[in-house]
Amino acid sequence: MKKKELILDGLSCANCAVKIEEKVKKIEGINDVNVNFVTQTLKFNVDDESKLKEIEKIVKEIEPDVKVYDKDIIKNESQKKNSKADREKRFNKKDEIVRLLYSLTIFIIAILVKEPFSLKLSLFIFSYLISGWRVLYRSFTNIKKGLIFDENFLMSIATIGAFSIGQFAEAVGVMIFYEIGELLQNLAVDNSRRSIKSLLEIRPDYANIIDNDRTYKVSPQEVSVGQLILVKPGERIPLDGVVIRGSTMVDTSALTGEPVPKTIKEGDEVLSGFVNLNGSITVKVEKEYSQSTYSKILEIVENASSKKAKTEKIISKFSRYYTPIVVFSAIALAILPPLVFGGPFKQWLYRALVFLVISCPCALVLSIPLGYFAGIGKLSKKGVLVKGGNYLETLKKIDTIIFDKTGTLTEGVFEVTEVKAYNGINSHELLKIAAYAESHSNHPIAISIKKYYDEQIDEKLIQEYQEVVGEGVKAKINGETVLVGNIDLMKENGINLPELEPNGTIVYVGINDSFAGYIKISDKIRPKAKDTINKLKKLGIKKTVLLTGDNEETARKVGLELGVDEYYANLLPEDKVALLERYLNNVHTVAFVGDGINDAPVLARTDVGIAMGGLGSDAAIEAADVVIMEDDISKIIDAINISRKTIKIIWQNIIFILAVKILFLILAALGLANMWGAVFADVGVSLLAVFNCMRILK
C-alpha cells in the first residue's frame, strides 16, 4: 500500500466532501480514506496507482468544477500559484456578484411591472435562470448520475414547485437569496481557511544554496543533506541543520509559540520554520525537506482531520440518513394531509416545498470539522501539536493527569552535588571509577557523572559492561568488579550499606563486593511546575500523580513541593504501565505527560499521551498524541482550555443548527413558515455557525 494525497482544488461544498469520501471508501484496494474539507485534500492508501483515475472520476461526478492534483507532482511554488490562479478563474467572486446583481435588478423590475402578465412572467423566468442556472444544471447532471438528496436537488424541486403553484416572486426571490447566501458562505469559509492556515504559515519558499562561493535560490525540496545554505536576515530557515558560520537571533514562535527571540551561534542546531532576525548565518543541512521539523508539524496538523472525534463521526452518520428522511417526510406532507383532512392540495404542496429547502444538512457537515481544525490550528500556533480531533475532544474530558518526574516536572538536567567515599578510597578515585562504569550509558544521571568527572576515559581499562534495567550498571574496570546504581542493585549483589539520609538522588558505588561510597545527584524542579499543578486543580482535574524511578524520599520531597495528590517511587518502565492500567480500569480519563523518549509504552497506552519538549525530537513526535514543542509544562493549561472552548463552540453550533432546523420544519408543516424563512434555516444558519467557529481563533 502506498500513501497518496490529492488536492481537490475548488472544493467548496462540505456535504459533497462527505459524499466523495464515502464513494472513494467503496473502491477495492483503497483504505484509510479521508477528505479534509478545510485543507481541500483527499488522503488514502492505495495498492495500485491506476485507481487514481477512478477517484478523479468520482470527484468530477460529485463536484464537476473541482480540479484534482496529485500532491507528489506539485513540487514547486509556481505550480501552486497556477493552481490558485485556476481556482480564482473558476470562481471569480466579482463575476458572481455582478451576475446576482443583474438577477436581483430584473427581479425588482418584475415585481414593479403590473401588466401585461406575460411580460411579468418572462422577467421572473429570466431572473430565475440568471441566478439559478448553476443550481438547475448541477441538479440535472447529479440526477442522471443517481446522486439526489443534495442541496441543488432540494432547491430545484422547491423553486420549480413554487412556480407550478403560481408563487413566482417567492420562487425567484428564494433562488436569488439562496445564491447570495451561498456566495457569502463561500467567502466566509475561504476567510476561515485563510485564518486557520495562517496559523500554520511556516513553510519557507526557497533556500539559498552555496556552491563554489556562489549563492542561488532553489526549492527546499532540491537541497540534499550535507549541503550548505545561506540564511539572510528576515528569511525563514528552510531546513533543519547546524550553524557552521555566523551568529544571529531567531524567532521560534511559529514552532514553539514562544515570543522571546533565541540567540544562535556556531555549532547550534536550527530548525526549519525559525525566522532569522538580524545576522547572516551559514547552515549545514542535516535533514532533507520531507524529514524537516516544519514539514512534520504541517503533516501532523493537516493529517489531524483523519482522526475524527466521536461527535464528528456521529454527525456524519446522522447527515446520511437525515436528508432522505426529511425528503420523504415532505412528500408525505404534500400527499397525506389533503387525503386525510381535506383542504387544497396546493397549500400542502407549498408547505412541503418549504420543508425541502430547510432539510439540507450542510450547516452541520461544514461547521463541525471546521471547528475541530480551528482548535488544532490555534494550539499549533501556541506550540502544541494535537494529532487529531479525537484527542482534542478527549483533552476536554481528562480528570486524571499522570506526570513522569525527570524531564517533565523537573528540568532533567542532573548535577553532582556530593561525592562521599568510604573504606579507604578517596573522593576523586570514587568519581573516576563511577565515570568509567557509566561511560557507555546515555542515562541523564550517567551523563551528569561523566560531565562532573570531566577527564578523558581510557576505554582499554573497561573490560566488561552490562546495563541492569531500572537499577544501574555492572562493569569490570582494570580488573575490579564495579557496581554503580540504586539500592536494589547493591542488595541483590550482597553489598551492605550504611544508614544514609537520601536528600536527593543517591547513586551507590560498590567495588569487589564492598561498599565504596555514594554520589548525590540533584535535579531542579521546573519553574512553572507548581503553578501548573495548582491551575490544573482549578480547572477541575481531580487527581495529579507523580511517577519516578527515584527513591521514596526524593519522590516524597518533589511531590510535597509541587502539591501532587499521589506519588510512586522506585518504578521500572513496566511498573509505570501497570500503574496506568490501574487508573484506566477505574474509569478515569487519563493523560500521561512524559518526555516522549523513555516513556513510549505509557504514552501509547494512555487515553492522551502528552510529550514534553518535542522540538526536533522524532521519538517524541512519533510516540505521543499531543506534542508540546518546547519545555514549557504550562502549555498543558492552553491545551485543555482551547479543547474545552472548541468543544463548547462545536456543541453550540450543533444545538443551534438542529434547534433552528426542527423549529422551521414544525413551522413549515403548520403553514407558519415561508421559503424566505427556509433559506435562513439553511444558508443563514450555516453562515452563523462558520462565524461562531472563528471565535476559537480569538
Q: Exposed/middle/buried for 329, CB within 10 Å: 0-12, 13-18, 19+? A: middle
Q: Under a CB-based contact definition with an 8 Å cutoff, are residues 134 and 193 in contact?
A: no
Q: Residue 272's closest CA among 204, 199, 200, 198?
A: 204
**Grid coordinates in use for 459?**
576505554
**Grid coordinates in use for 174?**
428564494
Q: Exposed/middle/buried for 374, CB within 10 Å: 0-12, 13-18, 19+? A: buried
Residue 69, φ and ψ in degrees, nearest 5 = -120, 145
Three-state DSSP class for residue 411: strand
Q: Cα–Cα distance between 213 and 227 in angstroms, integer?
A: 13
User: Which residues lie closer than 8 Å to 48 by C-beta, 6 or more apart?
Assistant: 29
Q: Cα–Cα distance between 520 and 507 in angstroms, integer?
A: 6
- Asked if the peptide bond before residue 64 counts as cis, ω within 30 degrees of 0, the response is no
Q: Cα–Cα distance between 247 and 252 in angstroms, integer?
A: 15
- Checking DSSP bridges between strand 67-70 and strand 2-9, what pairing results, if any? antiparallel
DSSP letter assigned to residue 6: E
Q: Under a CB-based contact definition with an 8 Å cutoff, are residues 610 and 384 in contact?
A: no
**Grid coordinates in use for 638?**
492552553
Q: Under a CB-based contact definition with an 8 Å cutoff, are residues 635 and 257 in contact?
A: yes
Q: Cα–Cα distance between 565 and 567 in angstroms, integer?
A: 7
- Checking DSSP bridges between strand 480-485 and strand 41-46, what pairing results, if any? unpaired
Q: Cα–Cα distance between 395 and 629 in angstroms, integer?
A: 17
**Grid coordinates in use for 242?**
547546524
Q: Cα–Cα distance between 604 and 585 in angstroms, integer?
A: 16
Annotated active-site residue 404? The verdict is yes
Q: Residue 30's closest CA among 41, 15, 12, 42?
A: 42
DSSP letter assigned to residue 382: T
User: Which residues lie closer than 8 Å to 454 by C-beta, 6 or more apart?
Assistant: none
Q: Under a CB-based contact definition with an 8 Å cutoff, are residues 273 and 294 in contact?
A: yes
- Checking DSSP bridges between strand 207-211 and strand 214-218, what pairing results, if any? antiparallel
Q: Residue 312's closest CA among 83, 514, 36?
A: 36
**Grid coordinates in use for 490?**
547493591
Give the number of other Cβ atoms within 10 Å of residue 528's Cβ.
Answer: 17
Q: Under a CB-based contact definition with an 8 Å cutoff, are residues 551 and 506 in contact?
A: yes
- Active-site residue, from 150, 404, 550, 599: 404
Q: Cα–Cα distance between 438 and 483 in angstroms, integer?
A: 10
Q: Exposed/middle/buried for 95, CB within 10 Å: 0-12, 13-18, 19+? A: exposed
Q: Could you list the active site residues? A: 404
